[in-house]
Amino acid sequence: MNDQRKGDHAEPTTHFGYKNVPESQKAAKVAEVFHSVAAKYDLMNDVLSGGMHRLWKRFTIELSGVRPGNRVLDIAGGTGDLAAKFSRLVGPTGQVVLADINESMLKVGRDRLLDRGVAGNIEFVQADAEKLPFPDNHFDCVTIAFGLRNVTHKEDALRSMLRVLKPGGRLLVLEFSKPTNAFMSKAYDAYSFAFMPLAGKLITNDAESYRYLAESIRMHPDQETLKAMMVGAGFDRVTYHNMTSGIVALHRGIKP
């Protein structure tokens, strides 16, 4: 939705943080960021969110309505926090698919889950959210946590998620959003652009990736825009819940 086209013959561009890059380059640039941070991804999440990301994910699980025997797809599943919980909930008769476009993240997630003994009902698939390699009407629940803002064509990804969901199935999008009060917004800006790159430099020796993280959050659609995008993609009964004063929002839509 932020795509820009330069003339008839030029390649369309999209945002990568605050920069505009040709669409064909965004996925590779996002991949570079995640290759760089994959090894210390969990540690950085804890440091940067003060552990809050665990509570945001907990709430996502609570709203998922996942039951034993369900099929769940966790897109951009990263290091497998949500997938591990879903694996417990669906039990041996269910199935969880952890999908991520990034090979390094998927490898870290797979190793981490296997080390924790999470196995048997979980599969790992390297897949692009815009072109999900699964049959139509296949999953009871699809989640994407902190992944949608990195997708080049968000509408295509939402339509792809709708396609693989069963009728009545639910999509949960957990993503950074727009703070709901002015004071929090200012404090959050100062935190994002001063502390986050510094923490990235100190812990992963990579300030740029965390500058991209802060910028990509600002470029991501706000709560109402994302809701409209989900409705536009064909989801029904779309609602969202703001968490931590709107720093993060959980959108939920049902496939009609």
Assess 150 for contact with another protein (CB under 8 A): no
Min dist CB 70 to another protein, Å, is 9
Report the alpha-carbon distance of residue 2 to residue 219 in Å, rounded. Answer: 8
Report the alpha-carbon distance of residue 47 to residue 37 in Å, rounded. Answer: 13
Min dist CB 55 to another protein, Å, is 5
List C-alpha distances in Å: 179 to 27, 44, 190, 249.
27, 21, 13, 9
Q: Which of 47, 35, 85 is nearest to 63 (CA)?
A: 85
Assess 168 for contact with another protein (CB under 8 A): no
Report long-range pairs for 182-190 (Cβ below 8 Å, ≥24 apart): 184/245, 184/246, 184/247, 188/247
Of these, 55, 114, 119, 194, which contacts another protein (CB under 8 A)?
A: 55
In the shown chain, the binding pattern of residues 65 to 104 toward another protein, with x for contact by CB under 8 A and - for none, equals xxxx-------------------xx-x-------------
Distance of CA 69 to the CA centre of its chain: 24
Assess 120 for contact with another protein (CB under 8 A): no
Min dist CB 244 to another protein, Å, is 6
Which residue, 57 or 220, has its beta carbon nearer to another protein? 57
Which residue, 84 or 148, has its beta carbon nearer to another protein? 84
In the shown chain, the binding pattern of residues 192 to 231 toward another protein, with x for contact by CB under 8 A and - for none, equals ----------------------------------------
Min dist CB 151 to another protein, Å, is 26
Assess 54 for contact with another protein (CB under 8 A): yes
DSSP 4: B
Q: If you search the block for the tokens 């939705």, which residue do you land on? A: 1
In the shown chain, the binding pattern of residues 7 to 46 toward another protein, with x for contact by CB under 8 A and - for none, equals ----------------------------------------
Report the alpha-carbon distance of residue 172 to residue 216 in Å, rounded. Answer: 20
Let me know if 241 is exposed, middle or buried by CB neighbors in 10 A (0-12, 13-18, 19+): middle
First to last CA, the chain: 24
| # of chain residues touching another protein (CB under 8 A) | 18
In the chain, count H helices and then E strands: 10, 9
Interface positions with another protein (CB under 8 A): 52, 54-55, 58-59, 61-68, 88-89, 91, 243-244
